[in-house]
Structure 1
Amino acid sequence: MTDALAIDPDVPPSGAGCVECDAAGGWWFHLRRCASCGHIGCCDSSPGRHTTAHWKATGHPLVRSFEPGEEWFWDYGAEELFDSGLELAPPVSRPEGQPAPGPAGRVPADWARSLHS
């Protein structure tokens, strides 16, 4: 069961890319958005796995995909996908012109070898 109190539909995303990857000059595969505070982190396939690290550090259990056209949420506590029926503050995804993996110019040519399964 998802915790609706863990969703703040009014908080904007923290940026257009993974906060920690941007700070370190790294790259990501896909992006996720914390439904509680708007933190943007990289997915668990990415080298940094920053969304999971954010959940472990803050206890914020719910994230939404930050990829264009994806509206699903993930509940870390229940380990399940769900649809909240709520919209989050815009923007709801990374910029459509920003590639995945991204960002442009920081993704190594052999990026697929660095992905986690």
Structure 2
Amino acid sequence: MTDIDGIAPGVPPSGSGCTDCDAVGGWWFHLRRCAQCGHVGCCDSSPAQHATAHWKSSGHPLVQSFEPGEEWFWNYDTNALYDAGPELAPPGARPADQPAPGPAGRVPADWTRQLHR
């Protein structure tokens, strides 16, 4: 990734889980972090799809995976995947002891049937 418009490397993530799901007691499958403002939202497979909703409301097109061991970026505007990009402010992922789906205690027993595919 050579063009870093829309990436603010010094901005920390908004939390360790989906900010919007946490506000309403929801749950997520995987997490995405806005590369511009740090908003952590849930992925498109998650019931609420908050990362995409954040892009649509804010216009911030770049997200990075917020999963342990993943460094890829996604550009919503161009549908482009980048294997890597600039290092963002820590932490770079949800806590390793936080399960996916998560958070612990809020994931329903039938969670696989509630995923978007």
- State whether residues 41 and 51 of structure 2, in contact with CA within 8 Å, keep that contact through their aligned partners in structure 1: yes
1:51-79, Cα deviation, whole Å (9 max, x unpaired): 00000000000000000000000001110
Alignment-derived partner of residue 75 in structure 1: 75
Note the C-alpha offset of 1:111. 0.3
Separation in 1 of the partners of 2:2 and 2:114?
32
Alignment-derived partner of residue 25 in structure 1: 25
RMSD: 1.2
Separation in 2 of the partners of 1:67 and 1:82?
15
Mapping 1:87-102, distance limit 5 Å: 87-102=87-102
TM-score with structure 1 setting the length: 0.96
Name stretches of at least 5 consecutive residues in structure 1 with no aligned partner: none
Q: Which amino acid aligns with 1:60?
A: H
Name stretches of at least 5 consecutive residues in structure 2 with no aligned partner: none
Note the C-alpha offset of 1:4. 1.0
The alignment-based identity, stated in percent, is 73
Separation in 1 of the partners of 2:96 and 2:8?
24
SS of the aligned residue for 2:22 comes to helix
- State whether residues 2 and 78 of structure 1, in contact with CA within 8 Å, keep that contact through their aligned partners in structure 2: no
**Are positions 1:48 and 2:48 aligned together?**
yes
Alignment-derived partner of residue 104 in structure 1: 104
Q: Which amino acid aligns with 1:99?
A: P
Separation in 2 of the partners of 1:74 and 1:56?
14
SS of the aligned residue for 2:52 comes to helix
Q: Displaced runs of 4+ in structure 1, greater than 6 A? A: none
Separation in 2 of the partners of 1:108 and 1:83?
32
- State whether residues 29 and 46 of structure 1, in contact with CA within 8 Å, keep that contact through their aligned partners in structure 2: yes
- State whether residues 16 and 94 of structure 1, in contact with CA within 8 Å, keep that contact through their aligned partners in structure 2: yes
Separation in 1 of the partners of 2:106 and 2:86?
33
Note the C-alpha offset of 1:2. 7.1
Q: Which amino acid aligns with 2:30?
A: H
Note the C-alpha offset of 1:83. 3.7
